[in-house]
Amino acid sequence: MPPENAPIEGGLDLREANVVDVEIEKLNGSYKFDVTLYHDDDDEDGYANWWQVETLGGEELGRRDLAHAHGTQEFTRSQTIEIPQEAKYVVVRGHDQIHGYGGQVIIVNLRTSQSEKIDQGSEKQDFSDYS
């Protein structure tokens, strides 16, 4: 549970770079990811500075850097990333300058485009046993 002074909205600790939506489009061996983050960029010195796509075991497959703060609002940015053909699931995870990894992640089934939101808390979790 976040501390009492943590900015909370819809159950999300906004000090963390929360992934709130992911849309994917398959493109000849790559995938275009449209990722929506929600973070309290207004009340901190740091901001959500990237999101990344990784394997369930945590290997980075691609990353979208963010160059500036976006205020305390949801915002979407896109990136095309090559994904190994054998991958069935990927984790989409946000990062911020102050707290690092934390908050809500989304696991995406690449074959069905279905996704599951998981609150990993304030520390980066390993999802290698996810199925």
Residue 26 is assigned to a structural domain of this protein? yes
Residue 51 is assigned to a structural domain of this protein? yes
* Backbone torsions φ then ψ of 17, nearest 5 degrees: -85, 90
Q: Please state, in angstroms and as integers, the Cα–Cα distance from residue 38 to each residue in 6, 53, 96, following that order.
A: 14, 17, 11
Which pair of structure tokens corresponds to residue 131? Answer: 């199925």
pLDDT-derived band at 2, boundaries 50, 70, 90 = low
Domain of 49, CATH number, reads 2.60.40.150
Cα–Cα dist 120/65, whole Å: 21
**59: Cβ contacts below 8 Å, ≥ 6 apart:** none
Domain count, the chain: 1
Residue 130 is assigned to a structural domain of this protein? no
Pairing relationship of beta strands 100-101 and 89-96 according to DSSP bridges:
antiparallel
Average pLDDT, the chain: 89
Residue 3 is assigned to a structural domain of this protein? no
50-56 average pLDDT score: 97
What b-and-e string marks burial along 18-36, b requiring 16 or more CB atoms within 10 Å of the CB? Answer: bbbebebeeeeeebebebb
Task: Give the model's pLDDT for residue 5.
Answer: 59
Cα–Cα dist 42/61, whole Å: 29
Segment 70-98, tens digit of pLDDT: 777 899 999 999 999 999 999 999 999 88
Residue 128 is assigned to a structural domain of this protein? no
Domain that residue 98 falls in: 13-120
- Cβ contact 12:103 at 8 Å: yes
Residue 131 is assigned to a structural domain of this protein? no
Task: Give the model's pLDDT for residue 69.
Answer: 75
- Cβ contact 99:2 at 8 Å: no
